[in-house]
Amino acid sequence: MSERVLDLDPVGAGDTEILEVSMGPHHPSTHGVFRMDVRLEGEKVVRLKPVFGYLHRNHEKIAEHGAYLAAIPYTDRLDYLCSMTNNWGYCLAVEKLAGISVPERAEYIRVIVSELTRFQNHAGLIGFLLQDMGASGTPLMYAFREREKILDLFESLSGARMMCNYMRFGGVRVDCTPAWLDEVRSMLAGLPKFVDEFEALLRGNEILMARTQGVGVLPRELAINAGITGPMLRASGVNYDIRKVDHYGIYDRFEFRVPLGDHGDVYDRYMMRVLEMRESIKILEQALRDIPAGPIMDPKVRLRGLRPKAGEAYGRIESPKGELGFFLISDGSTIPYRYRVRPPSMINLTILEDMCLGQNVADVVITLGSVDIVLGEVDR
């Protein structure tokens, strides 16, 4: 952390000077290459400007120069913890654009892998958040232990742990075997116990509560006005889950609840993830019970050289971080005319300054941690 004393903006009252601290881009708390320009008056934050773009990879323009199929592996690298949900968001947009239907079994497989993704993302996030607060290593280690089991399942299904490149417009790439489904079932049987333990580890911890309750409060109206989505919005008490609102895929068939927070502080956002992990387990149990046999790809769909009719489509899903949307415009050729991602991480990050103003500098770290960003998606 580099520090430099500014002689600009001297504060009238007291002897304190404004201190400008550049947190990041190489800072362990910033979850990637992300910089915050923080102005401090003593310990208090008076200004905070997020600076990002260090991981810009030209994702959208690359996708506009390749076939529709060629963009799928790039979407893996948006939010690199949740490649399955990214695939789904993109495939949903292409399916809307080209009018492709998805077979039943493929829909179920998509739900299964997406809920597993949500589970491992939330487990990982809580681990990192607690690590930011000083619970060094232990929660993160437990979270990664469970995450690894899920990633092993992804690897045996799709061939890669993180860059799965699994879904295709019109279905999924490979079918899951009964043995794989049994593995998921046996892994799933252990998950509620893990969540219980993980929650008991620090939920009631007095230090954690003192550190997180009332910190980084995001009021309900501000959250709505800023376009915040996902667990962060729900922690502020807004009942908005695209799985419930939009019923994309087959989410209307599953029974699950949408947990809601009350205060919109860091603690609520932490608990929101724990509760969502429990709901994911419920969805997984139902999906594994009901999964039918059948094809996994629409036989009519052409993966290579897909030419959707001229038009536009917006596909959105509830990714673990919020509303992940892909906007596509087709001019009738084999490559998209315009390709645009609505990244939940980035839009949720824009509100960081409002949450941090007036807080201590140490709280900036945990407020950022509770937003749940992945810089691959923020910078694209």
Partner 1 sequence: MLGEGIIQGLVETARNFFGSYVDKDRLTTVQYPEERQPLPEAARVFPFLLYDGDDPVAGLRCVACQICEKECPPRCIHIDKSKDKKPDFVGKQQFYPAVFNIDVSVCMSCQICVEVCPFDAIRMDNAFELSTTDRFGGLLYTKRELAKSNEYYQQIHPTEAAECDERRAKELADAKAKATAAAAAAAAKAAQAANPAAAPESATQASKNGAAAPAPSANGSATGAKGEPAKSETKVGQ
Radius of gyration (C-alpha) of the chain in whole angstroms: 21
Residue among 10, 53, 134, 159 that touches partner 1 (CB under 8 A): 159
Cα–Cα distance for residue pair 75/326, rounded to 1 Å: 10
End-to-end CA distance of the chain: 25
Report if residue 142 touches partner 1, rule: CB under 8 A.
Answer: yes
Closer Cβ to partner 1, 56 or 257, answer by number: 56
Residue among 138, 225, 239, 333 that touches partner 1 (CB under 8 A): 138
Cα–Cα distance for residue pair 157/149, rounded to 1 Å: 13
Q: Which span sits near partner 1 by CB under 8 A: 12-20, 92-100, 147-155, 361-369?
A: 147-155
Residue among 26, 56, 57, 145 that touches partner 1 (CB under 8 A): 145
Query: Residue 40: which H helix or E strand, with range?
Result: strand 35-41
Report if residue 310 touches partner 1, rule: CB under 8 A.
Answer: no
Please, which of residues 13-52 interact with partner 1 by CB under 8 A? none
Tell me the C-alpha to C-alpha distance, in Å, between residue 298 and each of 42, 165, 176, 305. Answer: 61, 18, 16, 16
What would the two tokens of residue 298 be?
A: 């629409």
Please, which of residues 77-136 interact with partner 1 by CB under 8 A? 77
Cα–Cα distance for residue pair 46/248, rounded to 1 Å: 42
Q: Which span sits near partner 1 by CB under 8 A: 30-38, 137-145, 248-256, 353-361?
A: 137-145
What would the two tokens of residue 229 be?
A: 């989505």
Report if residue 9 touches partner 1, rule: CB under 8 A.
Answer: no
Report if residue 71 touches partner 1, rule: CB under 8 A.
Answer: yes
Closer Cβ to partner 1, 91 or 364, answer by number: 91
Nearest distance from C-beta of residue 4 to partner 1, angstroms: 37
Identify any residues that bridge with 49 across adjacent strands, giving them in sequence order: 37
Residues in CB range of 159: below 8 A, 6 or more apart: none
Closer Cβ to partner 1, 300 or 304, answer by number: 304
Residue among 23, 38, 72, 116 that touches partner 1 (CB under 8 A): 72
Closer Cβ to partner 1, 163 or 301, answer by number: 163
Angle between helices 178-202 and 104-132 (to 10 degrees): 30
Nearest distance from C-beta of residue 204 to partner 1, angstroms: 3
| SS3 assignment for 106-148 | HHHHHHHHHHHHHHHHHHHHHHHHHHHCCCCCHHHHHHHHHHH
Q: Write out the residues near partner 1 by the rule CB under 8 A.
A: 62, 66-67, 69-74, 76-77, 138, 142, 145, 148-149, 152, 155-160, 163, 165, 173-174, 190, 197, 200-209, 303-304
